[in-house]
């Protein structure tokens, strides 16, 4: 069974569209994260949720809105997609509230291409 799963795996869409990426973890972890890996392969955190509450919200355009219906799910909704949003988006989870002492487990990534 996949510990952290994301759907879709690939997403190709036009500029201006609204899209969502879903993430689910079956590890029973309390904390979930969204990361963005750009074309230069730098991985940067976007959001962190602990027990459905937002903990980290890095400098991310407000077109990006995370939603956590329960602690096993953290979905990412993106409004008015722009070319610069093209990247690989990774979901991750950890047991602890901050990941400071915990290993983070990553999903396989969602490759978003905005045309």
Partner 1 sequence: KQEVTQIPAALSVPEGENLVLNCSFTDSAIYNLQWFRQDPGKGLTSLLLIQSSQREQTSGRLNASLDKSSGRSTLYIAASQPGDSATYLCAVFANYGQNFVFGPGTRLSVLP
Binding residues for partner 1, rule: CB under 8 A, are 4, 33, 40-45, 48, 55-56, 58, 90, 92, 98-101, 103-109
Nearer of residues 16 and 61 to partner 1, judged by Cβ:
61
For residue 109, give both structure tokens: 């990534």
Supply the minimum distance, in Å, between the C-beta of residue 62 and partner 1. Answer: 19
| DSSP states along 74-114 | EEEEE-S--GGG-EEEEEEEESSSSSSSS--EE---EEEEE
Supply the minimum distance, in Å, between the C-beta of residue 80 and partner 1. Answer: 26
- Alpha-carbon distance of 61 to 112, in angstroms, equals 16
Supply the minimum distance, in Å, between the C-beta of residue 16 and partner 1. Answer: 27
Q: Of 43, 47, 27, which Cα lies nearest the Cα of 93?
A: 27
- Alpha-carbon distance of 95 to 7, in angstroms, equals 22
Nearer of residues 18 and 38 to partner 1, judged by Cβ:
38
Nearer of residues 16 and 102 to partner 1, judged by Cβ:
102
Nearer of residues 14 and 43 to partner 1, judged by Cβ:
43
């Amino acid at each position: 069974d996949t510990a952290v799963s994301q759907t879709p795996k690939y997403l190709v869409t036009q500029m201006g569209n609204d899209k969502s990426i879903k993430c689910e973890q079956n590890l029973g972890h309390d904390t979930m994260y969204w990361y963005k890996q750009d074309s230069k392969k730098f991985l940067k955190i976007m959001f962190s949720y602990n027990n459905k509450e937002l903990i980290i919200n890095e400098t991310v355009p407000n077109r990006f809105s995370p939603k956590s219906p329960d602690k096993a799910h953290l979905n990412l909704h993106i409004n008015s997609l722009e070319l610069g949003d093209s990247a690989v988006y990774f979901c991750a989870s950890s047991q602890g509230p901050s990941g400071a002492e915990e290993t983070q487990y990553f999903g396989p990534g969602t490759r978003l291409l905005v045309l």
